[in-house]
Chains A and B, each alone.
Chain A
Amino acid sequence: MLGAVVFDFDGTIADTESLEFATWSAEFASRGVCLGLADWIQCVGGGDWDVYDHLVALTGPQDRPQVLASRHARYERDASDLAPRPGIRDLVQALVNQGTRLAVASSSTSVWVNSHLAQFGLAPCFQEVVTRDHVHHVKPAPDLFLLAAERLGTPVRECVAIEDSPKGVEAAKAAGMRVVAFPNPVTAPFDLTAADLVVDSLSDPGLAALLALH
């Protein structure tokens, strides 16, 4: 029985993960070092691993405001080209059309998530947006998913979560939801087998079945 679908935001709805990674990679590269994907994944989907601390560990002391400003400028420059990942728009529309309630559960801030949803024109599709602004513990803790289900008024076992990262999958499973993993280039190399279903594309027939889409 499908009551609601809870989407992760970063890396799932929009590939901000790849853009974050690319912009941080450029910051690392301009200082002569390489940001390894294995390191980066520690902060994907939440957690307290700090990318700036990692940079300093590799290069020695840096001018923190300068690094953050430079990274931010690069992100801003490239973010205007940011769009929902392939298939997201169609999937959301299909779910809305069949009356499925939708929420976003994100370890990022509300401003971040809402501004991007507005930029994509997807904001009206989601009944609830829960973020780090609303809970004490972000992913991999289940709090965000539990709060989303509560606000939607849907039992968690009737919810399906769509995630891109191991931490997100872990959080949704811990909340008791069924989980579909839809990895992006950054998270593709990682083990997502904890999910109920892993798809390369949102037009995957298994996904349609799970979401009771026609």
Chain B
Amino acid sequence: MSLAPGSPEPDSLLRRISELEAEVARLRQGGTADATAGVRSVPVEHDVAPIQEGDITLRRLVQRVAMILQAETIVIMFHDRDSGELIAIPPAYGMDEERLGLFRVRATQGISGEVFRTGEPAVFHDATSDARTSKDMVSLLHVHNGITVPLIIEKRDDENRVIERNAIGVLHAFNKRANEDFNDEDVRLLERMARNVGSIIANLQLYREVVEEREELLQTLESITSGLILLNPEGKLSQVNATARALFGLGQDTIGKPYRQVFTNEEIQDFFQAALEGDDVGAIEVDTAVGNAERILSVQGTTVRNEEGRTLGFVTILNDITEQKNIDKMKSSFVAMASHELRTPLTAIKGFSTTLLDGIDSQMFSVDEQKEFLGIVVHECDRLRRLIDDLLNTARIEAGQSLKPNYSNFNIGELVDKVIVVQNQASPKHRVHKALVGELPTQIVGDEDKVDQILTNLLNNAIKYSPEGGDVTVHAEVVGDDIVIGIEDQGIGIPTDHLDKVFDRFHRVNNEDNRKIYGTGLGLYLVKHLVEDVHLGKVWAESVVGKGSTFKFRIPVHLDVEKAKALND
């Protein structure tokens, strides 16, 4: 089973959740008898109150302590490991919440600290003069005399032997009523009752921890990037996380419903059915439609069992692999395209060179014919070199390397003219011409070679995607600080939903119109890099299917070379 990196294994999480659910249920019922059996060691005490009444029981207990000891104030202090403090916690007797909130000392200070550290009870008769007391607290709480005993949790094994003792805090009784003082009998009584207080607190604490852990795990499952569905053995949904709900367009109200009622996709239904019947379902791919969007999901599942092998349910992990599939598709079509693009020039080079070779002895071909044939060989070699350059440049960009810009001042008008002449020679069916708005600057700052590549690439495309020929117009004007160049053709055009994507690597529009027009899908990807990364510009396309396309780019007239160099370093 695979998940997004960093996600925990979901079946082990689910096992843990299931254990926690059981424990929560048990704690709610107050039963601890089987708590130590295999799941986790739990403090076992004799006088354990049911948890839902834990708070009330503790409050009553505190009242009883106060009554029995004839103490004005009873305070429980809990040791907080993180802060290293002993902190007064409710319920208290004879102290308001405000003062209770202020009652905290370091575990090294005062009577509280001493009792917590030594595990021995302490009694003090004159708080003000007793050297052990924390005077701040004495005056804050108006303490005259008191007893402090440790709160101890004992862990016992199956034969009721103490295997661990932990101090979790202290219990205070302050100010004996009727101006009397505490005696040794009071200390013994308080010690005994502290055991009950300790065990109730421990249980409450455990309950909170279990609930928190369960919440945390549920939250983890909720937030993992894979979809997750948990079925109970009866085929009802016990968990559908946020990703899964989004993948199927479901609301929050799915828990407890039979899967057939929630999932209408037949493949998913069959998958769940097979899984619940105990078949090894492994992984499948499912096509779904959420709204108008068709997605491909990878669906994997496994049965979740507890340590005794009992089936807890069936967990299903869903991943949206639509993009991955698209990339796979694009890659295979790229490989086909690249092979074709490599093969076509090679075929011609081989054919014309062997034909020339064959004709040398008998002087079969006139000088003009030989020139033509050799010209084709040279042209096809250039085409091969361009293709390989494109592939290498794409690999460089992919690897995060720059195309090593070489910035200088150059004459953009002359460059445009030069490129137009070359393209006019290349295709007799097309008329490439220039349309300027206003004057162009004589000098701009940029990488001349790369701007040549941009123009050549866009003009090549304009010609390639206008199989019927026609005008190709190079528009150029200065707008603000930028020069904007547009290459307009009268070709087949680009469907609106592809206008943004044509700049993606390997992206090609596949339709009837351009089936016979070959290309690798790398040209515009490189153009985008050369315009936007190398020249800090912007490239975009406008098009009407059947009428033609205009590819426009804007680059600064005065490129900030330092900034550009830093970005392309």
Bound-state CA distance A176–B362 (Å) is 31
Is B355 a contact partner of A35 (Cβ separation < 8 A)? yes
A144–B373 Cα distance when bound, in Å, is 37
Interface residues of A in 147-179 (CB under 8 A from B): none
Closest to A184 in B: B364
Within 8 A of A (CB), among B256-296: none
- Asked if A31 and B351 sit within 8 Å, CB to CB, the answer is yes
Q: Which of A19-27, A126-134, A191-199 contacts B (4 or more CB under 8 A)?
A: A19-27
CA distance A21 to B369 in the complex (A): 11
In the assembled complex, A98 has its CB within 8 A of some CB on chain B: no
Most buried by A among B347, B348, B358, B364: B364
Name the B residues within 8 Å of A189 (CB-CB).
362
Residues of B within 8 A of A29 (CB): 348, 351-352, 354-355, 373, 376
Please encode chain B, from 344 to 386, with 1 for each CB lying within 8 Å of some chain A CB and 0 for all others: 0011101110110011001111100100110010000000000
Does A34 contact B355, Cβ atoms closer than 8 Å? Answer: yes
Does the CB pair A30–B350 fall under 8 Å?
no
Contact of B347 among A32, A37, A186 (CB under 8 A): A32
Interface centre among B351, B352, B358 (most CB of A within 10 A): B351
B348 in complex: contacting residue of A22, A30, A37, CB < 8 Å? A30
Contacts of B355 in A (CB 8 A): 25-26, 28-29, 34-35
Instruction: Indicate if A185 sits at the interface (CB-CB under 8 A).
Output: yes
Residue of A nearest to B363 (CB): A185
Nearest-CB distance from A57 to chain B (Å)?
15
Q: A30-B376, A34-B358, A37-B358 are in contact. Are A25 and B365 (CB under 8 A)?
A: yes
Pair B364/A18 contact, Cβ less than 8 Å:
yes
Q: Does A188 contact B (CB under 8 A)?
A: yes
Most B CB within 10 A of own CB, among A28, A32, A185, A189 = A32
Chain B binding surface, main DSSP class: helix
CB proximity of B516 to chain A, nearest CB, Å = 10
Contacts of B363 in A (CB 8 A): 185
Interface residues on chain A, size class = 10 to 19
Those of A182-211 within 8 Å (CB) of chain B: 185-186, 188-189
Chain B contacts of A32 at CB under 8 A? 346-348, 350-351
Q: Nearest chain-B residue to A26 (Cβ)?
A: B373
Contact at B354–A37, with CB atoms within 8 Å?
A: no
User: Could you tell me which residues of chain B, from 319 to 337, have a CB within 8 Å of some CB in chain A?
Assistant: none
Residues of A within 8 A of B354 (CB): 29, 33-34
* A60 at the B interface (CB under 8 A): no
Q: In this complex, which of A29, A37, A185 has the most chain B Cβ atoms within 10 angstroms of its Cβ?
A: A29
Rounded to whole angstroms, the CA-CA distance of A116 and B150 in the bound complex is 124
Contact A185/B362 with A22-B369, A29-B373, A31-B347 known, Cβ cut-off 8 Å = yes
A99: interface (CB < 8 Å): no
Question: Given contacts A22-B369, A26-B373, is CB(A34)–CB(B351) below 8 Å?
Answer: yes
On whether the beta carbons of B347 and A22 are closer than 8 Å, the reply is no
Q: How far is the CB of B353 from chain A (nearest CB, A)?
A: 8
A22, B351: Cβ atoms closer than 8 Å: no
Partner of A188, one of B346, B348, B362, B372: B362
B347: which A residues are within 8 A, CB to CB? 30-32
Residues of B within 8 A of A26 (CB): 352, 355, 369, 372-373
Q: Restricting to A19-73, which residues have a CB under 8 Å from any CB of B? A: 21-22, 25-26, 28-37
| Closest Cβ–Cβ distance, residue A61 to chain B (whole Å) | 15
Contact A18 B366, beta carbon cutoff 8 Å: yes
On whether the beta carbons of B364 and A186 are closer than 8 Å, the reply is yes
The interface residues of chain B lying within 8 Å CB-to-CB of A34 are 351, 354-355, 358
| Assembly CA distance A21 to B364 (angstroms) | 8
Q: How far is the CB of B548 from chain A (nearest CB, A)?
A: 25
Determine if A33 and B362 form an interchain contact, defined as CB atoms under 8 angstroms apart: no
Residues of B within 8 A of A33 (CB): 351, 354
CB distance from A165 to the nearest CB of B (A): 14
Q: How far is the CB of B394 from chain A (nearest CB, A)?
A: 27
Q: A193 CA to B372 CA in the complex, in Å?
A: 35
CA distance A81 to B137 in the complex (A): 118
Return B369 CB to nearest CB of chain A, in Å.
Answer: 5
Which residues of A have CB within 8 Å of B373? 26, 29
Residues of chain B lying within 8 A (CB to CB) of residue A35? 355
Q: How far is the CB of B269 from chain A (nearest CB, A)?
A: 47
CB-nearest residue of chain A to B377: A29
Shortest CB-to-CB span from B367 to chain A, Å, is 12
Please name the residue on chain B nearest to A33 by beta carbon: B351
Contacts of B351 in A (CB 8 A): 28-34
A22 CA to B365 CA in the complex, in Å?
Answer: 7
List residues of chain B with CB within 8 A of the CB of A36: 358
User: If A30-B351, A30-B376, A31-B351 touch, does A25 touch B362 (CB 8 Å cutoff)?
Assistant: no
Which B residues from 175 to 202 make CB contacts under 8 A with A? none
Q: Measured between alpha carbons, how far is A35 from B369 in the docked complex, in Å?
A: 15
- Which residues does chain A contribute within 8 Å of B365, judged by CB atoms? 22, 25
Query: Using Cβ atoms and an 8 Å threshold, which residues of chain B touch A30?
Result: 347-348, 351-352, 376
**Can you show 18 pairs from A to B with CB atoms below 8 A apart?**
A18-B366, A21-B364, A26-B372, A28-B351, A29-B348, A29-B352, A29-B354, A29-B355, A30-B352, A31-B347, A32-B348, A33-B351, A34-B351, A34-B354, A34-B358, A37-B362, A37-B364, A186-B364
Q: Which residues of B line the A interface, CB within 8 A?
A: 346-348, 350-352, 354-355, 358-359, 362-366, 369, 372-373, 376
- Beyond the given pairs A186-B362, A188-B362, 11 more chain A to chain B contacts, judged by CB atoms under 8 angstroms and listed by A's residue number, are A22-B369, A25-B365, A26-B352, A26-B369, A30-B348, A32-B347, A32-B348, A33-B354, A35-B355, A185-B364, A186-B364
